[in-house]
Chain A
């Protein structure tokens, strides 16, 4: 497979290294003379000095016979145009662009880039997952850790909000002791409806926790 990479920095270097190790043919287009020089010493790849969105440079890079083009510069308009030129002028089937500004995702998609990824979006979603996870606090362990008392705080977009406890079917051996809602303590029954931001105080055996959390996160 022939892969064209546009950009610089460590990500391009390690991506190229990985692809070369897999036996792919790699061409890198980089616009910094010093970095290009260094890359050509370090990698068994074709290195071209120039602007990766320039049709002439893409021609020199043999884009016509490439299977994939990946543009990862810090400038969105360069990534967009590089992918468009590769696709429209050189018939590259798969074009992948880094989108620096998450607002631009829609534009890239509408203007025909086959795959886009946004570092901002990826890191934000990692953090969101992390905070979802952080919303579970172990309050105390009883009987040498066989039983745990924990607090789960339902996030804003909790899938279980609006559902009654009966519908959730929490596993046996598990008790939802209390719900703290807007600072008030509720003693739940089967018909109690969960809401976003509820703090649930759970008591149960450690081995059942995973199942309960799966139900509460709606997975």
Chain B
């Protein structure tokens, strides 16, 4: 698939508590921006992929919300749902369809309106007895506690990630949380699920993002310089890691495997990547991801953050957008939002949060936790 698919347009709504916008309106905002970005007539779109964890009211468990929002009828539209890797997996499927020669131009939208689903955003869908009592922070905290126990680090190391991502997000007008914070604030925030305090956690966010991909040969027809898909891979591991006696809880095998496959497809190594948007649903997650993606050795992700190497001016900037932590995390939208950010950075259009002249960027989602991971590598043509 390497270099066979190009991203020709991206769009993203303002992320946040979007009480002012319905689910389908958010889809419109993101898709219209992508249409304009590419300079494309929607009639040219041959197929669509909707990444969403919970569709809007009336949307059902299907892709009809995308069709209805954009009146994009009579075409194949597929709904993708794969935990927090939903958005990047929707993008990956669109790329596969184009690379396979099935369509020339495909629209990908990730959308989520968590605030319409009650205060906690995510209704419980699990087994009525087994694993009951789990929460998203609680599940990642299981890994964080084992990691802290093994590598002997403290909450202040995790806090460095939150401080950095809020600093980046403060520069980003589309971000949900735009306030800069201090290590002390992170440490003093109320505990949600030990060791995570409120400021170790990403917010519950509404938002949508869109990307339009096409066959690479056609890309020059459109408005902006194309960005090429170098590699995209998904890996699935157990969705019940807490029952797996062989799991060490120090990182996620799905990320390691998806990254290896994406690098192999791209013919690249982690050293070649100039910056990355990685899944920082909780502060520890980013630290572990930087290791699983190969930017440092296992156990050294905390040092990477504390030494400023993942900051905007560091040698491997991580989450220049502000990440899930500050930009927000509308589940199905996040992965497509990452594609939007990587494309924006590669084009040099990121303004105050611009990474210095990047050529290769990476987007990564992990959900489950650790059950599903998707890695996408994009590069300038």
* Co-complex (A, B): no
